[in-house]
Every structure is written in C-alpha cells, then in structure tokens.
Structure 1
Amino acid sequence: MVKHRFTVEAYHKAYEAGALPERVELLEGEVYAVSPMGKKHRLYVMHLDRVFQEAFGEEAVVMVQCPLALSADSEPIPDLALLRPPLEAYRERDPGPEDVLLLVEIADTTLVQDRALKLPLYQKAGIPEVWLVNLLEEVLEVYAFPHYAMERHPKGEAVAPRAFPTRPVAWWA
C-alpha cells in the first residue's frame, strides 16, 4: 500500500478542492478522520468553553475546535486552547504553538490516539501544557513541557493551568 504524505499547505489545497472529507486533521503528514462527538464529549467542550471564558476571558483567548498548525506536516484540531491575547493578533495570522498557553483534548473513543499520536506532537512543538480529559476514567491528565510526565486529577478536584497558577477551575461537567 502506498501512502501519500501531506504538508499543511498541500492538505489545505486538497481540502479546498473538495478532495478531503469535512472533519479531518493532519498528523505527521497523514490525514485522520475526526471521530463523531458523543453527548458527553460535547458537554465537556461546552462546559470548559464557559469555564475558561469566565475565568480567563480577559487574559486569554479561548479557541474552540479550530486547527492549530504545529509544523509543516501537522495541523491537529484540539478541543480547546487558551491563547495569548489579544484576539486581534489573529486577524492577520493563524495562531501557532508559540501562542498556546494551554491546550485541551477531551477523549473517550480517541484516548489511545490522543496519547500516542497527539501528545508527542504537542510536546515536540513546545506546547507548555496539555490537559487530556479522560472521560473513560473521569480524570484529568495534565502534561507539562518539557517532560510531559502525567499528573492525574480526579473528578471534583479543581486544577489551575500553569499560566494562571492561582486560579483553579472546575474542569469536570
């Protein structure tokens, strides 16, 4: 079997030409279908969007399910990200890894893929902190640069992003 590897530029051209399905992301040159979102996943996306807007809305830009170009061959679609403000900075350019304060993936059916494929990409890109909301075990897995050693926080334990260490949030819905 022959695989075709994409750059972000070629991936965008293929998408604009209608050669790719609607919900896909590019990881290390390969196109992956984005799994349909279940009810619990949707609930957590909406909950964290609201929590982040209320807690950090003046000091961070909340980005929800938008592509994030990490390198020439990777453009995942994280569930949420806290970006450096101001919002106007992204009028003329897309956010990159240097703009990310916190990135969030919510995982149930994609837990193995998120850990095995996405976390190493985020670490390689220098993303300072990744939260993986593990819906299967109802825990928050926190990974921080440079080592990305997992910290686990049970449902009910508020957690502060490293960018806002004195402001813990209720991450569970």
Structure 2
Amino acid sequence: MTGTIYRLTTKDFAVLEVMLMRRRALADPAVPMLERKLAESSVVPIGTVEPDVATLNSRVIFRVDDGQAETRTLVLGDAYAPVGSGLPVGTWRGLCLLGMRAGQSALIERPDGSGERILLEDVAYQPEAARRTAPDAAAGRRSHGLRLVYSAEADRWPLGGDGKIRQTEGDDPGPSAA
C-alpha cells in the first residue's frame, strides 16, 4: 500500500487500532501494513462518509492485478459472513480495500517481496449510506427492523382464556399433578 490516501470512519479506525495493538504483541508481519494504513488515512465521522468508500460491512467489487472481478463483504472476521462471501479486514486484501474509494487502486507489498495491485471497482453496498437513505431516517425515527403483525385487545387472552390465574391459595394439587 503506497501513495494512497484512505478515508476511514471513526469506527473502522478504532477497529484497526485495536488490531494493530494485538498484532504488535504477536510480531505479526502485517504490522507495517497496518501502521501505514493508519498513517495514510483521514478519519471521518460515520454519518459523513461518502457512499463510494469501502467501510466495514460494505459489499465491494474489486480486481486483483488483471484477474476477474470479485464481490465480497468486508467483515471483521471469518465468522461474520457466509463461507466465501466475506473478506476479513485482517487479511492483506481486506485491509488494503478498507477505506478505499471506488476507482482507486493500491499496491500490496508483502514481507516476502511479492506484491499485487488491487483495484476497487465499486462499492455495491455501504451500511452507512443505507442508513442515511432508509425511509425512517427521513422522518427522524430509528428503525429497529421489527414490524407489528397482530395486536390483540387487552381483554382478549390467547386460546379463549378468560385471564384468570388458575391456581389460588390453598388450591395446590401437590406433587402428583406434576
């Protein structure tokens, strides 16, 4: 990753900082790449990031060198996406793509001297942009994703019950009822 300026949300920046601290303790070879990523990034508030910037949980379309275009979701780890659809930001490619703009490319230089050029073709979905365009966002309400399907009146009980508590004091049938 050289000469590219990245835009990270405050959340993505914090995630990378924690990743850097943990990997430094393990002498991980990705530490220099993480340090460069954080040094070459400008940090923006979550609500103001442009829709063409790859953020955590964004679905991105990218190309490695002259290979075929791939579509993946940038995730925190392997367990956060169905098999084959996620690209963890802890990998070389995932880390490189995080914070890039559509149309931007970068060179990944690995410790063994090999390298590959990654081109971010498009950001097909970005959660921050989706949040801004949601219908409830326009009304100032925050959607929880739930929808009321049925609401019974307070005096109606399920299965025709009358709302009384069956057991009263002195009406204990004992252990044989269990």
Q: Radius of gyration: which is bigger?
A: 2
Higher relative contact order (CA 8 A, sep 6+): 2
Q: TM-score range by the shorter chain?
A: under 0.3
TM-score, normalised to structure 2, is 0.22
